[in-house]
Amino acid sequence: MKRLLGVVVALALALAPIAPVGAEQDTLAKIKETGVLTIGTRTGSPPFAYVNKNNEWVGFSIDLVEMLVKPEVAKAVGKAIKIEKKESTPPTRIPLLTNNSVDLIAETMTDTAQRRESVDFSLTFFYTGAQFLVKKGSPVKGVNDIAGKRIASQQGSTNAKIIREKYPQAQLREFPDQPAAFQALAQGQVDAYTNDGIQLAGLKAKAPNPGDWEVVGDFYSEEPYGMAMRKGDAKFKAAVDAGLKHGFESGKYFEIYEKWFGPKGDVPYPMTPQVKTYLLKQIGK
């Protein structure tokens, strides 16, 4: 038995140095060869990426890839390409990227300094911050009311990390996905559910009785969403960023935003002037 364990440890250590030595992957070359850009995205995060009532896999993030990134990547590889979608979740998305299962993560991933050590991020394509979803009339009105309260969060999210570090008096309960966390809120297992404000707005819009729920509190964190790519692939990143930049410049981006977040969109979430300024500042405007 001891010998077996020794073998496994040796194997793990032996593999470790081999892996990172490999040549840097050229994603564009791979896409040129296969004609396919594979993205990792969510199935249950409306309106960014989800499976709708007609069983179609759609969303804001997916539209951005289809309408802004895809043409630019096609131009870079010099041929028409297809988009393929795979499911990614917070714990799986970085491994999916690094093991080449997907080329681009386009969902609801916050651009953080920690993550930048493992992956590269595109320009920020959405800006939100952490808030709370509560039953209407709840004593929780914001991050200053959560001491002693049971707070649900999503496993692997930046919000959970902030609550744990800065608000340790709250009783944090971490769920692997949105539906479980919402169920816990609906049944009273928890007093509030914290996530990015836009996600909570989406959840509220989708709830059986949206009027029963409130999204409360100021942003207690900054959550700029970016698309993630394998680290160090400058050519591919340039293509993705060019697509987004073109979208901002031409106004196409704002049309897509309006489609999903406008008054008639899935989740009404009007863009504030500050957010618009933040987004345009990225391209020097």
263 token code pair: 């008054």
Among 54, 187, 209, 274, binds another protein (CB under 8 A): 187
Q: Using CA atoms, how far apart are residues 270 and 262, in angstroms rounded to an integer?
A: 6
**Taking CB under 8 A as the rule, does residue 14 contact another protein?**
no
Helices (DSSP H) in the chain: which residue ranges? Answer: 2-21, 27-34, 60-64, 70-77, 90-98, 113-116, 158-166, 178-187, 197-206, 234-250, 252-261, 273-281
**If DSSP codes are grouped into helix, strand and coil, which group holds residue 64?**
helix
- Cα dihedral sign for 229, 90, 269, 65? positive
Choose between 190 and 198: whose C-beta lies nearer to another protein: 190
Least distance (Å) from another protein to the CB of residue 1?
5
**Taking CB under 8 A as the rule, does residue 12 contact another protein?**
yes
Choose between 13 and 80: whose C-beta lies nearer to another protein: 13
- Sites for another protein among residues 34-93 (CB under 8 A): 90-91
Contacts of 148 by beta carbon, 8 Å cutoff, 6+ apart? 169, 170, 171
Nearest in space to 192 (alpha carbons), one of 176, 211, 213: 213
Q: Do you know the residue count of the chain?
A: 285
Choose between 115 and 252: whose C-beta lies nearer to another protein: 115
**Taking CB under 8 A as the rule, does residue 189 contact another protein?**
yes
Least distance (Å) from another protein to the CB of residue 164?
9
Choose between 72 and 111: whose C-beta lies nearer to another protein: 111
> Which residues lie near another protein (CB under 8 A)?
1, 4-5, 8-9, 12, 16-17, 19-20, 22, 24-25, 90-91, 94-95, 98-100, 112, 114-115, 117-119, 150, 152, 155-158, 160-161, 171, 173-176, 180, 183-184, 187-190, 230-233
